[in-house]
């Protein structure tokens, strides 16, 4: 090993305290020098917050201001704590404790339990699911595997928000939280679960914090002993603390103020677990004399990526938005973010895979590329596209699609139905392959409507829904295909994607990508309903979705691509719209999107040649007054991005009628009316022949032929009159 190699692997410990400050920017240096009193560091994405706080601790230790054993640095993951300990050792401050909240509390609980309570600490439950299942059974409430996970998550949320079982239903109602089951039932299971733990002398993960809080509140001698041990506290990712963690931190501190917190309210994306940015946002109110330092120099991303990230937050609302940080890139300029519109989801996945392959060919390592999506069920189509393109990939934070329990169970059920053939009563009434698949999967939890809220039940439904969509696409590509053909296709896909892969492109959900970064990031599926997700109902829930997209954007160092598909499948209705969060940021959607950070044109592409339309003449949007030049939007008389007032029920009735008439005439459905024309009718709901004739795509001939039917359906007469010219 050369001296240079040894130096890069094992950096030399700074010789003096002042040497620890070398290389810090002015704001980071200010953090490092603020060693007394309350300190609040507001650190944007990519601004070197870990560097700032580790150098602060190391400088304090090396300067003799802080005693290594008297410092407790707290963060939220074991990985982050390990990284912090490693950096501190390299800076000559190896004796400092860097732990998670739970790890620090567990050590204290184990040490003080004999003195505070007597005997041995109760056994710690590794997994609480089995005990929750037993509690549900005792309450005579039946939970499937996914409901069990969701109810367990609810109990965890209740405990970190310090909600007791009796109060759970009222707290859920007040917080507008989507409970996975009737809150009264969950409260009953929660109470029984707590009783079972007491009967068996076991504690769970959340009890570690609750019991430590209880001991420190009741035993002032023990609290004083801990406060003598630790005189100085540092808390990273402070925007993610729960009320229970804040209570423990307050007890550790006592009446002292030697506390340094670091966080960014714009990266609060875990509120569903009990995390809240309120403690960060209220820090200066609680500590009026606090030193506040803002880190806004972004060392991670190019000016072009930072410009988009700043623009995304500039439209945000709420308390977190009021404290947003305007980042300033410290990197050389790079390519503009690319906004790409595709005709359908398969085209989006294939286009993404091609771009990934091109980047790898251009020298970007596969391990420095990520494809990020909103929910794990979206991974399947990208797994397949990358596999087809010969690009290695790895999933982060989730099992591969075909390895998921619900997908394996569905495969077994489909295989059994295929073997049974005509002897399976489930399939008797099913007219085609997709209907057969829906019938089989309905026994595994698939329904025509998704379950409310998020969680394991929703994740399971999304996986099964992906199989239904796959069946619809398969029969479209292979008319006449049987259930056995589909099962064989699923087996082939599973076999291809189960092959071992080397280090490759990362596929991950946006939540799983927090804390990571790549040279190139693809943010996919950015349509309304997915971003923000459909179950984000309140203003705060929608704003958290915006922050989630912001986290995704700020994962990119150089290359950033944002994409969406207008329809789910090839030839489908192009009714989807890009996420509202890109309004004014993507080219053509408003003044902010007109130019990039450096004044050059922002990049926008359409994924298919069919998306380009020939200009027909100026027509004004009936919503915003903009000039329309594309045939599709001219039919709607509004921009694609402008809000639609379409009657969805009317649209579906018109589609059903069109399918019936097309069958009678022996013609394709579009020969009756195109999807866009039906959308225009459903938006404008004509009451007279003149109003109907004024809609582009109707005309005199179709008015005479189909007008009576259409007007009858618009008037609420189910199915129309059924009369008209042949």
- Scan for tokens 């060919």, then name that residue: 361
One-character DSSP codes across 328-389? EE-SPP-PPPEEEEEEEHHHHHHHHHHHHHHHHHTT--GGGEEEEESSGGGHHHHHHHHHHT
* Residue 127: per-residue pLDDT: 81
* Residue 500: per-residue pLDDT: 46
Encoded tokens for 305: 């990526």
Encoded tokens for 445: 């939890």
* Residue 695: per-residue pLDDT: 82
421: alpha, beta or left? (left if phi > 0; alpha if psi -120 to 50)? left
Find out whether 559 and 335 touch, Cβ atoms under 8 Å: yes
**Helix ranges (DSSP H) in 645-688:** 648-665, 675-684
Residue 315 — φ and ψ, nearest 5°? Answer: -95, 0
| Whole-number Å distance between alpha carbons of 267 and 50 | 15
* Residue 634: per-residue pLDDT: 58
| Whole-number Å distance between alpha carbons of 128 and 145 | 13
* Residue 619: per-residue pLDDT: 57
Across the chain, which has 726 residues, the per-10-residue mean pLDDT values are 41 80 91 91 92 92 90 86 85 87 91 88 86 92 84 89 91 83 91 92 91 93 93 92 91 92 90 84 90 93 95 84 87 94 92 94 93 89 85 73 78 82 55 82 79 66 78 78 83 59 79 91 94 85 92 96 90 87 80 41 57 41 61 60 74 88 76 81 87 79 86 77 42
Residue 519 — φ and ψ, nearest 5°? Answer: -65, -40
Q: Give exposure, 435-468, as e/b (b: 16+ Cβ within 10 Å).
A: bbbbbbbeebbbeeeebeebbbbbbbbbbbbbbb
Residue 12 — φ and ψ, nearest 5°? Answer: -70, 135
Alpha-carbon distances of 248 from 168, 220, 230, 233, 610, rounded to whole Å: 22, 14, 14, 12, 60
């Amino acid at each position: 090993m050369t001296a240079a190699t040894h130096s890069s692997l094992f950096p030399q410990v700074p010789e003096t305290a002042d040497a620890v400050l070398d290389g810090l920017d002015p704001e980071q240096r200010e953090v490092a020098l603020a060693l007394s009193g309350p300190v609040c560091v507001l650190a944007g994405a990519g601004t070197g917050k870990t560097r700032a706080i580790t150098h602060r601790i190391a400088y304090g230790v090396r300067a003799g201001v802080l005693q290594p054993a008297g410092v407790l640095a707290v963060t939220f993951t074991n990985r982050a704590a390990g990284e912090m300990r490693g950096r501190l050792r390299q800076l000559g401050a190896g004796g400092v404790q860097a732990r998670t909240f739970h790890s620090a509390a567990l050590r204290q609980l184990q040490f003080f339990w004999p003195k505070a309570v007597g005997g041995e600490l109760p056994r710690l439950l590794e997994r609480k699911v089995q005990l929750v299942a037993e509690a549900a059974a005792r309450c005579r409430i039946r939970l499937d595997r996914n409901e069990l996970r969701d109810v367990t998550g609810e109990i965890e949320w209740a405990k970190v928000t310090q909600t007791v079982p009796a109060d759970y239903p009222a707290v859920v109602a007040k917080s507008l939280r989507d409970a996975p089951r009737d809150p009264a039932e969950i409260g009953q299971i929660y109470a029984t679960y707590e009783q079972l733990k007491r009967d068996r002398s076991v504690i769970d993960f959340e009890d570690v914090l609750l019991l430590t809080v209880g001991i420190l509140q009741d035993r002032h001698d023990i609290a004083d002993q801990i406060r003598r041990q630790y005189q100085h506290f540092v808390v990273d990712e402070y925007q993610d603390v729960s009320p229970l963690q804040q209570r423990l931190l307050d007890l550790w501190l006592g009446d002292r103020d030697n506390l340094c917190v670091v966080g960014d309210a714009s990266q609060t994306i875990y509120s569903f677990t009990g995390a809240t940015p309120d403690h960060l946002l209220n820090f200066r109110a609680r500590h009026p004399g606090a030193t506040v330092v803002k880190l806004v120099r972004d060392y991670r991303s190019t000016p072009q990526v930072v410009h988009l990230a700043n623009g995304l937050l500039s439209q945000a609302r709420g308390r977190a938005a009021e404290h947003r940080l305007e980042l300033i890139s410290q990197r050389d300029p790079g390519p503009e973010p690319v906004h790409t519109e595709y005709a359908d989801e398969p085209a989006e996945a294939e286009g993404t895979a091609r771009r990934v392959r091109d980047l790898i060919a251009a020298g970007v390592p596969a391990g420095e590329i990520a494809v990020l999506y909103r929910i794990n069920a979206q991974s399947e189509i990208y797994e397949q596209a990358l596999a087809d393109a010969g690009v290695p990939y790895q999933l982060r934070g989730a099992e591969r699609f075909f390895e998921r329990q619900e997908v394996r169970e569905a495969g077994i059920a489909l295989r059994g139905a295929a073997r049974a053939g005509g002897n399976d009563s489930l399939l008797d009434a099913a007219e085609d392959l997709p209907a057969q698949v829906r019938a089989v999967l309905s026994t595994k939890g698939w329904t025509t409507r998704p379950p409310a809220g998020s969680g394991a039940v929703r994740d399971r439904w999304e996986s099964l829904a992906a199989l239904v969509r796959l069946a619809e696409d398969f029969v479209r590509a292979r008319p006449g295909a049987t259930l056995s053909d589909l099962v064989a296709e699923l087996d082939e896909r599973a076999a291809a994607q189960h092959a071992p892969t080397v280090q490759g492109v990362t596929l991950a959900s946006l939540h799983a990508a927090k804390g990571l970064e790549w040279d190139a990031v693809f943010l996919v599926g950015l349509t309304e309903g997915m971003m923000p997700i459909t179950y984000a109902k309140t203003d705060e829930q929608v704003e958290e979705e915006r922050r989630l997209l912001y986290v995704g954007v700020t994962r990119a160092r150089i290359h950033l691509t944002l994409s969406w598909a207008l329809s789910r499948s090839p030839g489908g209705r192009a009714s989807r719209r890009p996420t509202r969060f890109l309004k004014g940021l993507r080219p053509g959607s408003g003044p902010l999107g007109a130019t990039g950070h450096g004044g050059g044109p922002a990049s926008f592409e359409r994924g298919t040649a069919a998306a380009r339309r020939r200009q027909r003449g100026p027509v004004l949007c009936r919503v915003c007054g903009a000039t329309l030049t594309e045939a599709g939007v001219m039919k709607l008389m509004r921009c694609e991005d402008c809000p639609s007032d379409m009657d969805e029920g009317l649209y579906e009735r018109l589609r059903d009628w069109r399918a019936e008439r097309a069958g009678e005439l022996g013609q394709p459905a579009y020969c009756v009316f195109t999807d866009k024309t039906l959308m225009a009718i459903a938006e404008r709901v004509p009451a007279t022949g003149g109003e109907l004739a004024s809609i582009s795509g109707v005309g005199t001939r179709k008015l005479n032929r189909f007008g009576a039917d259409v007007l009858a359906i618009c008037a609420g007469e189910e199915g129309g009159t059924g009369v008209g010219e042949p």
